[in-house]
Amino acid sequence: MGAEALGWFSSFVLLLTIGKQVHTQWKSGSSEGVSKWLFFGQMTASVGFTVYSWLVGNWVFVVTNGLMLLSAILGAVILMKHRRASRRDRASRARAPAGAARA
């Protein structure tokens, strides 16, 4: 297997793995235990690695890190959406009358 093929294959595996995690987070409707710093760090590193890879002309890593940046943005958006919904749910429960049944 050539070096380029190995790079593209590894890129595919990495993106598939991260994509599956973001999909699971979205489908579960919960981001419990997921740190916002994970996505901030991933976005920062992906921007840096994308620029670096472009400067050295490594297209495997330009594409991979560009797509990793998109996955980090998507993961962060899902995280913020889940946290907003969780805050709304807690606020609704706090405003419920004392004798009301809670789900």
Query: What is the block-wise mean pLDDT of the chain (103 residues), using blocks of 10 residues?
Result: 85 87 84 82 91 94 94 91 84 72 54
Does 58 fall in a domain?
yes
* Number of compact structural domains in the chain: 1
**What pLDDT does residue 32 have?**
79
In a domain, residue 55? The reply is yes
CA distance 85 to 83: 5
Kindly state whether residue 28 falls inside one of the protein's structural domains: no
How high is the pLDDT of residue 37? Answer: 87
Domain membership of residue 57 as a residue range: 34-86
Query: What confidence tens digit (pLDDT) does each residue in 25-38 have?
Result: 888 887 877 888 88
Helix (H), strand (E) counts: the chain: 3, 0
The answer to the question of residue 57 being in a domain is yes
50 assigned to some structural domain: yes
Q: Provide CB contacts within 8 A for 38, sequence distance 6+.
A: 75
pLDDT for residue 18: 86
How confident is the model at residue 95, as a pLDDT? 80
82 in any annotated domain: yes
